[in-house]
Amino acid sequence: MHGQFKLFFEKTYIIVVPTFKDTLVHHHNMLHVFFGNGDLKLSACGKEICGNVIILENDIEHKAPDGEIAFFLFVDPTSHFAEVLREKFLKGEPAVAVNLPQATFDKASLAEESIKKTVFDFAGVVQLSKLNLDERILQILNNIDDFKHLGSRVSELADKYSYSESYLTHLFKSETGIALKSYLLMRQFEYVWREVMKGRSLTDASMDAGFSSPSHFSDVCRKLIGISVTKVLESQKTQ
């Protein structure tokens, strides 16, 4: 792929302009929205779907779609944006393709504001807020999102908020639809990328986030997004 790898962090979604094309099969707790220069093809849950925009529910095994990806989104599954995607497009399906009239994206010049406008035009008003959740869970979510619990275990959060571990685990899953442990890891993972994109070393960022080593973080990266952080950073150097 041509152009430069870019990450833009919004309140409830992350924009990725990739330099890599192929990934391993993987799954994670974020919803995906892929925008292509022309048709994209993706196989999920035994079906092949094709369109210039592909939306994928969270926790669905997949590889990067075939075709030229201009950019894609990771969407927080506990956000109003995720609710819009589910109600307007997915409608209970694990993945859908949408064909929209759109200009070809110049990957070399893709900027945050132009991408955000495309997202807005596609999905309509995107509220950058959480769903209407139990206040106790919302407080915990907000603190996790603010990186106040980096590297924390579920048992440590249960002690901090005066719950039993089993009750907190059940309450969080029933309110958000995802496991607390997975959500903690997702934000821990995000923190490292935020810091690396600011110019910090992978070693410092991953250790600050609570990973045991940079290689541990790279292993997690491979499992969550199907590619190692090392490969992404190496692709940066060759641009």
User: 35 has which bridge partners?
Assistant: 53, 71
Q: Which domains does the chain have, with CATH numbers?
A: 6-123 (2.60.120), 135-237 (1.10.10.60)
User: What's the whole-model pTM score?
Assistant: 0.91
Tens-place pLDDT, residues 60-91? 999 999 999 999 999 999 999 999 999 999 99
Tens-place pLDDT, residues 26-58? 999 999 999 999 999 999 999 999 999 999 999
Terminal CA-CA length for the chain: 10
Helix (H) or strand (E) holding 167: helix 165-176
Going 121 to 31 to 41 to 71, the CA torsion angle's sign is positive
Range 158-176 average pLDDT? 96
Tell me if 95 sits within 8 A of 49, measured CB to CB.
Answer: yes
User: Nearest 5 degrees, angle CA 213-CA 217-CA 58?
Assistant: 160
Give 90's DSSP letter. I
Give 66's DSSP letter. B
Looking at residue 1, what is its pLDDT? Answer: 44
Range 137-142 average pLDDT? 94
